[in-house]
Structure 1
Amino acid sequence: MLGDIVRYLDSVVARDPAPRSRWEVLLYPGVWAVFWHRIAHALFQADLFFLARVVNHLSRFLTAIDIHPGATIGKNFFIDHGFTVIGETAIIGDNVTIYQCVTLGGSNPTNGVGGKRHPTLLDNVIVGSGAQIIGPVTIGKRARIGASAVVTEDVPEGATMIGVKARSTLVKAETYAKEFMPYGTPCKEPCEPVGNQRVDELEEQVALLRAQVESLLAARDHETRRVERASESVLKGL
């Protein structure tokens, strides 16, 4: 039990550079929200629905994070900051990271398989702040959901999704993916291949213009020296 807690705290420290020790992590609202959810979920599975809701209500009051008691959550789940909502039929895998103001919301209960109306996040998914994932969609392993993205369709493994409605950046996971990517968005690496190609074209044009300017300057200097030599010859003749 104690070992599991220490491993969980260490997993949070590995993903967040802010805490100086495990003790600081123990003050995180996301950590307490997960703790209370474990209790509420156990009560929910025992069909003690009212008591599960009481624990859920207490947790929401203390942490500003609303996790339905029915949601299934794996190991090392980390909510960085708060104001997150996770629906009843949501399923979250291991080592998932969610930033503030994220919603794992539901769609029409008649849609989906077996009444499932909330998302499934597989292992090592990262969801950026303000993202909204709606409906019984599946977010593949190691996928990244950028800040404020709205996802309503399945996301393939390793994809990075941005925008409203979210679209893939088309960057292959193996070209950038590390063990962990803060905020779920690649910052230094190119995202849009088309945009990167356009930058290359502009750089080629700038290089061509630079070469033309240098050629014109050299021709002007050559003409200036020729005129000066001609003037000197005329003066010497006088």
Structure 2
Amino acid sequence: MGIFKRMKEDMDTVFEQDPAARSYTEVLLTYSGLHAIWAHRLSHFFFKRRLFFIARAISQVSRFFTGIEIHPGAIIGRKFFIDHGMGVVVGETCEIGDNVTIFQGVTLGGTGKEKGKRHPTIKDNAMITTGAKVLGNITIGSSSKVGAGSIVLKDVPDYSTVVGVPGRVVIQNGEKVKKNLDHQKLPDPVADRCDRLQEEIDVLREEIAKLKEVKQNDNHHL
């Protein structure tokens, strides 16, 4: 597909995804997500030719103007749509399929513990909503959705919806997964820390009681 046809397809994708889009002129001049995608295509062109400095320079200029950071090494398919976009981060080894939508504040990043392929793979037709963090060499399945604010650290099957911290599948193949809907069982780090402190206090109390008992016995012998 030629460059101008691809650009036209990108703008048509905006109209398909965003009911607020009114004209091609508006989309062309004011949609930062679209500008970031076009800049990425250019930076990726240089990245594949091992012109890394030029690729990163283009990426950083795009980040400055759009608030969206896409590493030049990321592989992105057709009809990719970034809605609003501010704060979006896409890592170097990300692979994004066709017709994928992500919203503002989304991070497709690494965990800091991996080498090589260390960022997510997002399959066709997936949607990653506002503020979600998808971390590590994991796969978000085709036509799956990640709920707002979720942190996903494990693979998500096709046709699934995942929510929460950490992310849990709540819908799969159109059916609710009831065992994952108990939000009261979501991790609470503050409560966990308080429980550990209480356990340590209980142990100290037992040790103090034993020391007092030993001291009293010694006093009796005296």
TM-score, normalising length: structure 2 = 0.75
The one-letter code sitting in structure 1 at the alignment partner of 2:104 is Q
Out of 18, 21, 43, the position equivalent to 1:19 is 21
Aligned ranges 1:86-235 → 2 under 5 Å? 86-108=90-112, 110=114, 115-173=116-174, 193=178
Q: Residue in 2 aligned with 1:4?
A: 6
CA distance in 1, matches of 2:64, 2:6: 26
Q: What SS does the aligned partner of 2:65 have?
A: helix
Identify if the C-alpha distance between structure 1 residues 24 and 192 changes in structure 2 by more than 3 Å, giving closer, same or farther.
Answer: farther
4+ aligned runs moved over 4 Å, structure 1: 191-196
Q: Offset of 1:7 from its aligned partner?
A: 2.1
Q: How many residues of Structure 1 are paired with residues of Structure 2 in the alignment?
A: 177
Q: Residue in 2 aligned with 1:32?
A: 35
Q: Map Cα deviations across residues 8-28 of structure 1 (whole Å, 9 max, x no partner).
A: 211221111111122222221
Q: Offset of 1:68 from its aligned partner?
A: 0.4
Q: Is the 8 A contact 1:109 1:116 kept in 2?
A: no
Q: Map Cα deviations across residues 158-217 of structure 1 (whole Å, 9 max, x no partner).
A: 1000110011113423x6xxxxxxxxxxxxxxx665799xxxxxxxxxxxxxxxxxxxxx
Q: Map Cα deviations across residues 75-98 of structure 1 (whole Å, 9 max, x no partner).
A: 011111121000000000001000
* Structure 2: 5+ residue stretches without partners: 182-222
The one-letter code sitting in structure 1 at the alignment partner of 2:109 is G
CA distance in 2, matches of 1:195, 1:120: 23
CA distance in 2, matches of 1:122, 1:192: 22
TM-score, normalising length: structure 1 = 0.70
* Structure 1: 5+ residue stretches without partners: 176-190, 197-238
Q: What SS does the aligned partner of 2:171 have?
A: coil
Greater share of residues in strand? 2
Q: What SS does the aligned partner of 1:133 have?
A: strand
Q: Offset of 1:6 from its aligned partner?
A: 2.0
Percentage of pairs with the same residue:
46
The one-letter code sitting in structure 1 at the alignment partner of 2:11 is L
Residues 80-89 or 1-10, more deviating: 1-10
Q: Residue in 2 aligned with 1:63?
A: 66
Q: What SS does the aligned partner of 1:170 have?
A: strand
The one-letter code sitting in structure 2 at the alignment partner of 1:142 is S
